[in-house]
Structure 1
Amino acid sequence: MSMPRLSLPLTLTATALATSLALGSAAALAADGPLRGNIRVVIGSSSTGGDTYQNSAIVVDQLSEALDLNMKVDAVGVSAAYRALDRDPRGNTLMIFHDQAYLGNQYGVEGYKDPFENYIIGPTIAINPGNAYLVPKDSPYQTLDDIIEAVGSGETVRVAIQPGGVSEIGYTALKNAIRIEHPGMEDNLVAVNTGSQADKNQLLFDDQADLINGSVQANEQYTRLPEDDQKAMRFVWLTARHDTLQQANEEGLGQTDRETLLQFVEPNVEVTMGEGENFAFDKEFFFLYNKDMNPEIVEQIDATLEEIYAEGEIQEAQKTSFFIPDFMPSEEAQAHLREKADRYADIIDSIK
């Protein structure tokens, strides 16, 4: 009597086979690689509700699974994150932050060392295209051009920012544009330095600021409120490049679709840098490592992330949360971010 034939699973598709091989390769990296034990990933934010934590968690969860290691995100804030990273050259403490890592140093904020000299810059992982500036919904300023013209004609406009980083770079660029278009009037644009997004929002609610830095993720909900609501606000500017925001999902975020958000980026909103160039800024997230960490760990994380991004699942998770996938391996990321830092240093220097 012949044996019954076993029922075989459906033939693997090319994509499934590639994914299977990639997972096997990542598992091999975990087994043979230098990264060992529990891995703490500190971030330059103390909030578990902000974009730094959300973005880091997406990436770290995927890395943890691919490497079969216990990796956890720890929202400790900038100073504590750098201290933790400084103490651990073994690779059991890694860090994820964004452009504020170098902007803080360029602005001279205490506690910010030059990251290119004092740390290893690791791979980039994502862009948040939602860095934004908002006014009260009943503001007389309908556009950013209105604000530039008002300041240029002598009006004082107060801008709530968190000093020394991504929150301030847009303010700096706006002040520089006023300096170029209305020389001598730029001091009418006044920074109101504060801390968290909640603090910036409250200044707008209390009529202590005319314009605030915010984000699509944090502030879109307030743009849906009726004009007579004290908390109602509207976007006038997103600093992201047009081509970056164009990569977001069509539905955008909340009740604001991508086409609506594209109205607030260049070329629809122009902030001149002079010589025919306009300012735009993509908020990028990336790894930082202890300067003395084993370079083989750098290679291991690069190789694993390259496989993860090749699979494609992480991109969907990022775009659902309004992040733009942005993987660059460490060497490429170092060159890119250093060039970016140098480019924006010129704007910072122009208004000192």
Structure 2
Amino acid sequence: MKLTRRTLIAAVAGATMLSQPLMAVAQDLPRNLRMVIGSTSTGGDTYQAASIVAEALAEQLDINIKVDAVGGAEGFKALSRDKRGATVMLYHDHAYLSDLYDVAGSPDIFAEFLVGPSVTTNPGNAYLVAKNSPYQTMEDILTAAADGERVRVAIQPGGVSEIGFTAMRNAARVRAPGSEENIVPVNTGSQADKNQAMFDGLADVINGSIQANEQFAALPEDDQKAMRFVWITATPETLEGSPEAGMGNLTRADMMQYAAPETSVTLDGTEDFTFDKEFFLIYNKDTDPAQMQAIDDALAAVFEKGDIQTRMLESFFIPNYRPTADSAAHLEEKRDTYRGVIDSLKAE
């Protein structure tokens, strides 16, 4: 076809029309975006997940995104102050669990903010015992509680660390009403504190993670620091999405035996309790819907490319993109399930 002035003008006009959605995305977002996270650690899973997402989003949108590890309380304050949309937050289920556990100053994120897209899951939330413990399985622990034995569980109260402890107490009550009183908390702080409680003989069970505790599970039984996994809270579907090689000496097949249905911690006598630690974005309540849609669209494009999935799996995260509407509905349903269990135990 001969390239005339008319066809050239038409081609340029068509290209302009095709570029308009990308131009709209750029216009809907600030050039510099601050991503606060609900952790003050730059070595933990929250910072790691945020870094992966921020890098991919920044490249897709051609903007600058800075991850800022300010912690939960300061993160929510920063988010509340910024109605322009230059601040977003990346956090996980602790964001709503702390409110369910009545932690002072914790917001109701579904009422006070806008819950955005989910991006990834850390499947590693777990509970462990010493390798030489008389409790080798969750069945042993729940049976001991039913027999009147006091089982001490080291947790960091008020969130992800506590939800599995609550599930243990709930399962004990379902199996043998009253036995939940024999599963008692040892309130600590960091993972190092929980580990130390076990090393010092102050706790029979600790909350841990595959990433932080797999190294101790690989130790020989006569080592004072040797541990054994008894429960991984993730759903089997989530674990099935993890690399077959697993992490360290713990393969995916090994992990599956510590999760439902192989390891059963009942929710109601019929279903098993499960908990996936999911990471998602949170926005100021006055954020422009066009900006949130731009981020949704950018994330959809990033996940369609596939590179981010590879990076996540390499870091032992499970890719888990849900757009804003689906994510908010899913997380509210999760919140309501856990609220029922938590509130029923509070009422005792």
User: Within 5 A, what are the aligned runs for 1:114-263?
Assistant: 114-263=108-257
Aligned pairs (5 A) from 1:272-283:
272-283=266-277
Structure 1: 5+ residue stretches without partners: 1-23
The partner residue of 2:63 within 48, 55, 69 is 69
Q: Which residue of the partner structure matches residue 19 of structure 1?
A: none
Take 1:98 and 1:163, find their aligned partners in 2: how far apart are those partners?
Answer: 16
* Cα separation, 2, equivalents of 1:204 and 1:222: 12
Residue 263 of structure 2 aligns with an amino acid whose one-letter code is V
Equivalences for residues 6-17 of structure 1 within 5 A: none
**Deviation, structure 1 residue 281:** 1.0
Answer yes or no: is the 8 Å Cα contact 1:127–1:325 preserved in 2. yes
Residue 104 (structure 1) aligned with residue 98 (structure 2): yes
Note the residue ranges of structure 2 that are not aligned, 5 or more in a row.
Answer: 1-17
Q: How big is each residue's C-alpha offset from its partner over 1:254-287, in whole Å with a ceiling of 9 and x where there is no partner?
A: 2211011111001111111224111111111100
Q: Is the 8 A contact 1:26 1:304 kept in 2?
A: no
Query: 1:27 Cα deviation (Å)?
Result: 9.4
The SS at the match of 1:142 is: coil
Q: Which residue of 2 aligns with 1:13?
A: none
Secondary structure at the aligned position of 1:287 is classed as strand
* Cα distance in 1 between the residues matched to 2:55 and 2:292: 18
Q: What's the CA shift string for 1:2-55, capped at 9, x where partnerless? A: xxxxxxxxxxxxxxxxxxxxxx97992576332113211111111111111111
User: CA contact under 8 A between 1:130 and 1:238: conserved in structure 2?
Assistant: yes
Please say if residues 251 and 258 of structure 1, whose CA atoms lie closer than 8 Å, have aligned partners that are also in contact: yes
Q: Identity of paired residues, percent?
A: 54
Distance 1:58 1:312 in 2: 13
Aligned pairs, number: 329
The answer to whether 1:330 aligns with 2:324 is yes
Please give the secondary structure, in 1, of the residue aligned with 2:36.
strand
Cα distance in structure 2, aligned partners of 1:278 and 1:128: 19
Deviations 1:212-241 (A, max 9, x none): 111111111111112222211110000011
SS of match in other structure, 1:33: helix
Tell me, yes or no, if the aligned pair for 2:130 and 2:198 is still in contact at 8 Å.
Answer: yes
2:82 alignment counterpart: 88
Root-mean-square deviation (CA), in Å?
Answer: 1.5
Distance 2:317 2:311 in 1: 9
1:297 maps to which of 274, 291, 300: 291
SS at match of 1:272: coil
Q: Distance in 1 between matches of 2:153 and 2:25?
A: 52
SS for the counterpart of 1:268 is coil
Q: TM-score, normalised by structure 2?
A: 0.92
2:51 to 57, 62, 66: 57
Q: What CA distance in whole angstroms lies between the structure 2 residues aligned with 1:26 and 1:67?
A: 14
- What's the TM-score, normalizing by structure 1? 0.91
* Residues 1:329 and 1:26: Cα distance change in structure 2 (over 3 Å): farther
SS in 2 for 1:267: coil
d(CA) in 1 for partners of 2:274, 2:211:
19
Distance 1:336 1:68 in 2: 30
Read off the aligned partner of 1:295 and give its amino acid letter: P
Matched to 1:296, the amino acid is A
Cα separation, 1, equivalents of 2:107 and 2:269: 32
Structure 2: distance between partners of 1:235 and 1:25: 53
Q: 1:59, CA displacement in angstroms? A: 0.7
Query: Aligned partner of 1:72: which letter?
Result: K
Give secondary structure in 2 for the equivalent of 1:278.
coil
- Report how far residue 72 of structure 1 moved: 1.4
The answer to whether the 8 A contact 1:98-1:285 is kept is yes
Does the 8 Å contact 1:271/1:279 carry over to 2? yes
- The match for 1:47 is 41
